[in-house]
Chain A
């Protein structure tokens, strides 16, 4: 077995007095797909935001691709460049066209020549099937198109890991499928993915492991089949019975 690409040990995090994450231990191997589920407020989003240090943890270690994340980490930008993230609210840059959204970071962070960056961006946009919208602005696109663009934007940085923070929660039911399709094909391409989602269908289809979280703790972590077939804890059973 190879070394895990993400390693979280005894991690604790507080917002003020409130402890959001309690004693998190997690290892993710390269090319694995992990789905994180659980009720809202359980700390799922905070957990994956800690992985690229959009949130700072107070105790424990997070090691991403061999780099430990802490206050001392100087080149956090370098680590973030290798960890793509897709947000619930898309967070496209509204003042830039779709293609510029995708080329901005490769050009200025990775110092890629403009032409190469544009070819790469068009390539990625084609994969999520919005290359025909490349010159429009985010405000002119539907939610599903915007989210697919956000996926393409993250992929343009050619990351090793992709984090998805409830990518379909802000979408109309009709648009969820097009985004999930893009994610499924990405998963089949062999990307390491951590996905916070309530789409259990997606979890069954692509996930290697499913993590169930509640009240800041990892309650259950199991292979996908195992997780859905015979969940161990009662909390998980209750959750699954409500969501399925």
Chain B
């Protein structure tokens, strides 16, 4: 019979080691789980501090015994390579596992098992868990802001129309494909603006006027992000090209623009747009606050877009410019057909980054009195009838923002894959 060296596991006794090792890890996990879920301390017979450390020590010994190089067992190899390369990593693995297990019962019971969703007032929430009633009651406010309830269909229809128009590009005929860029850069924003103006604002076609101050909630988040996204991208492109121009006037204007907007905080820009800007305008000239805010954010984000795009332009080898020039292409043809398609493809991750930041910056418009999703939350949590439910509100908002941003980042990955032509 072979002797088993417990300190230095090797391949010869792989079966013994892995069985004993996994058993020890299992014991440590069972101990933590029973502790967290059933509130039973299996190791209460041990003295004080040792009780808390027991699963960690047992788990570490177990993982140490399982750490056999080239064991031949695929699962074991994978495990060792990824979470169990040395004692320190094993320790981290265990600590992370334990904290997840420890946190799970509390959060689950708070979010689901002890939560309340029935009823329609604060009184329904008597349990120790989350009060989803609050979200339920305020749901329409979170989605549509102060927009009158009976007109919510107008917002829904407008969004469906705008999204539908966005997909037109997929169904365009082959011979119209060359107008695609024109459509998305100029026609689509204009149509989208008209749809939103006439449907959501109303005032004509027998639709009652709803002022933008009443707009809010998630729909306002969408409106602001949508317009800022589609306007800041072409604008950023123009300034990126401008900054690389050979003409000094254009070059320095672009540099000034980019450095100015990158140097000021968004919150001051928003303040300026809503408080200071009207003072400079003639008395009879009126521009809606929402429009001013959208313009402000667009100009602000365009500067960031410009720098991201410039990065892409600079990463192209000089030979591409040479080749395009040698074929007789002028500045615009060269950029439209050769340089920009390649540069923009390179900057998809950076642009996605900027766009995600933009979407998550929209809550800042709260400072000028426009309450989109996060703004509505702030209003709702200070409502005297519903004090004390900030947590539920913020969890709700973060889930919604996460879904939006995750969808956007997924989409950007798809774009990258779609336009990948080399290698």
Interface residue ranges, A against B (CB under 8 Å) = 49, 52, 54, 77-78, 80-85, 87, 89, 91-95, 104-105, 108-110, 137-139, 150, 153-154, 157, 163
A85 to B329, CA, bound (A): 13
Most buried by A among B333, B341, B345, B421: B421
The listed residue (B323, B329, B341) touching A92 by CB distance below 8 A is B323
Bitwise, B294-330 to A at CB < 8 A (1) or not (0) is 0000000000000000000000010110111111111
Extra contacts, 14 of them, besides A85-B323, A94-B342, A138-B422 (Cβ < 8 A), are: A52-B325, A77-B329, A77-B330, A78-B328, A81-B328, A84-B326, A93-B342, A95-B422, A105-B327, A105-B328, A105-B329, A109-B333, A110-B328, A154-B326
Q: Which residue of B lies closest to A136 (CB)?
A: B421
Q: List 14 A-B contacts (CB under 8 A).
A: A52-B326, A80-B325, A80-B327, A89-B317, A89-B319, A91-B317, A92-B323, A93-B324, A94-B342, A95-B419, A105-B327, A105-B329, A137-B421, A139-B422
A77-B329, A95-B421, A109-B327 as given contacts; A87 in contact with B341, CB under 8 Å: no
At the interface, yes or no: B101 with Cβ under 8 Å from chain A?
no
Tell me if B338 counts as interface (CB < 8 A to partner A): yes
Q: Which residues of A contact B342 (CB under 8 A)?
A: 93-95
Question: Hey, which chain A residues are within 8 Å of B6, CB to CB?
Answer: none
B364-423 with Cβ < 8 A to chain A: 419, 421-423
Q: How far is the CB of B330 from chain A (nearest CB, A)?
A: 5
Q: Are A137 and B422 in contact (CB under 8 A)?
A: yes
Interface centre among A49, A93, A139 (most CB of B within 10 A): A93
* B residues near A91, Cβ cutoff 8 Å: 317, 319-320, 322-323
Is there contact, CB below 8 Å, between A109 and B328? yes
Q: Is the CB of A81 within 8 A of B327?
A: yes
> How many Å lie between the Cα of A50 and that of B161 in the bound state?
55
Give CA–CA (A89, B320) in the complex, Å: 10
Q: Is the CB of B326 within 8 A of A80?
A: yes
Chain B residues near A109 (CB, 8 Å)? Answer: 327-329, 333
Q: Which residues of B contact A108 (CB under 8 A)?
A: 329, 333, 337
The answer to whether A87 and B328 have CB atoms under 8 Å apart is: no
Q: Is the CB of A80 within 8 A of B328?
A: yes
Report, nearest first, the 5 A-B pairs whose CB atoms are least far apart. A81-B328, A139-B422, A91-B323, A105-B327, A91-B319
**Inter-subunit contact B322/A104 (CB<8 Å):** no
> For the complex, would chain A's binding face be called helix, strand, loop or mixed by DSSP majority?
mixed
Q: How far is the CA of A93 from the CA of B330 in the complex (A)?
A: 16
Q: Which of B322, B337, B341 contacts A54 (CB 8 A)?
A: B322
| Bound form: Cα–Cα A157–B330 in Å | 15
Report the minimal beta-carbon distance from B335 to chain A, rounded to whole angstroms: 12
Task: Please give the distance in Å from A102's CB to the nearest CB on chain B.
Answer: 10
Q: How many A-B residue pairs have CB under 8 A?
A: 75
Contacts of A110 in B (CB 8 A): 328
Asked if B421 and A94 sit within 8 Å, CB to CB, the answer is: yes
A85 to B321, CA, bound (A): 13
Residues on the B chain within 8 Å of A49, using CB = 322
Measured in the bound complex, the distance between the Cα atoms of B342 and A110 in whole Å is 23
Q: Given A80-B328, A109-B328, check contact A93 B320 (CB 8 Å).
A: yes
Bound CA–CA A95/B422 (angstroms): 7
Given the known interface contacts A54-B322, A93-B338, the answer about A139 and B421 at a Cβ–Cβ threshold of 8 Å is: yes
- Nearest CB of chain B from residue A192's CB, rounded to whole Å: 16
* Residue pair B328, A93 in contact (C-beta under 8 Å): no
Most buried by A among B323, B330, B338, B342: B323
Q: Which residues of A contact B422 (CB under 8 A)?
A: 94-95, 137-139
Query: A26 CA to B322 CA in the complex, in Å?
Result: 23
Bound state CA distance, A108 and B320, in angstroms?
A: 17
**Alpha-carbon distance between A150 and B337 when the two chains are bound, in angstroms:** 17
A157 and B421 contact, CB distance less than 8 A? no
Shortest distance between the CB of B208 and any CB in chain A (Å): 50
Q: Smallest CB–CB gap between A122 and chain B, Å?
A: 18
Q: B337: which A residues are within 8 A, CB to CB?
A: 104, 108
Q: Are A85 and B326 in touch, CB under 8 angstroms? A: yes
Distance from A237 Cβ to chain B, minimum over Cβ atoms (Å): 34
Chain B residue, CB-CB nearest to A52:
B326
- Distance A43 CA – B284 CA, assembled complex (angstroms): 66
Minimal beta-carbon separation of A203 from chain B (angstroms): 23
B313 to chain A, nearest CB (A): 14
CA A110 to CA B323, docked complex, whole Å: 16
Smallest distance from the beta carbon of B333 to chain A beta carbons, Å? 5
**Cross-interface CB contact of B323 among A83, A87, A95, A139, cutoff 8 Å:** A87
Give chain A residues whose Cβ lies under 8 Å from the Cβ of B419. 95
Which chain B positions have C-beta within 8 A of A83?
Answer: 326
On whether A139 and B423 interact (CB within 8 A), knowing A91-B319, A91-B320, the answer reads yes
Q: Mark B335-357, 1 if CB is under 8 A from A, else 0.
A: 00110011001000000000000
Contacts of A82 in B (CB 8 A): 328
